[in-house]
Amino acid sequence: MTDNIVPEFSRAIKLDIIGNQGKMQHISANNAELSALAARLHLIELNNLQADYRLITKEDHVSMTGEFTAEFTQSCIASGEPVKGTVKEILDIKFLPQSAISDQDEIELSSDECDIMFIEGGQIDAGEAVAQSLILALPQFPRSKNAQNILRSAGVVSDEEVKPTGALSGLKDLLASKPPSGKNKQ
């Protein structure tokens, strides 16, 4: 919602209708939203994105709790082949007022504060919150079943296959054959 850009999956909700009781709500992306989000997230395809959540107004924030599910197809990082995936993740997001931001250039967040979004223009965007949660849930390095073979044929070795070289290459073997200290006295 920043800079008047409307997110691909927008479900703006005005603060004055949220209340403090927390009624369950359901949202689901339509085909146009799925296509636009797939392009934004560099997915081959986004087949489904939906969420069930509860919004509750608290003293200093709005709380969004629930879960979302998504079905998608990504490109394998090694071969470019399609890799299908699904995610089902918990939503636990705090929406804070913009005034909660200090004038500092850099904001430090603890791990408990990583799911924080901001209230803008007297409303929150539940759809964008779900979209950003999806971004965090997607596999970073999707691999097809054939990825290892493709990498190997290109000369890429796995971490397990890496052999040390150089001056310290024999150190591991030397240390493995050395008796524990204090026991080699005769």
Burial of 169 (0-12, 13-18, 19+ CB in 10 A): exposed
Q: From CA 181, how far away is CA 82, in angstroms rounded?
A: 54
With cut-offs at 50, 70 and 90, classify the pLDDT of residue 139.
very high
Percent of the chain with pLDDT over 90: 56
Over residues 44-66, the pLDDT tens digits come to: 999 999 999 999 998 889 999 99
**Model's pTM, two decimal places?**
0.77
Q: From CA 8, how far away is CA 29, in angstroms rounded?
A: 9
Over residues 103-130, the pLDDT tens digits come to: 554 656 565 556 899 999 999 999 999 9
Domain ranges of the chain: 2-100+107-148
Which position has the higher pLDDT, 167 or 125?
125
Of 46-50, 147-151, 160-164, least confident by mean pLDDT is: 160-164
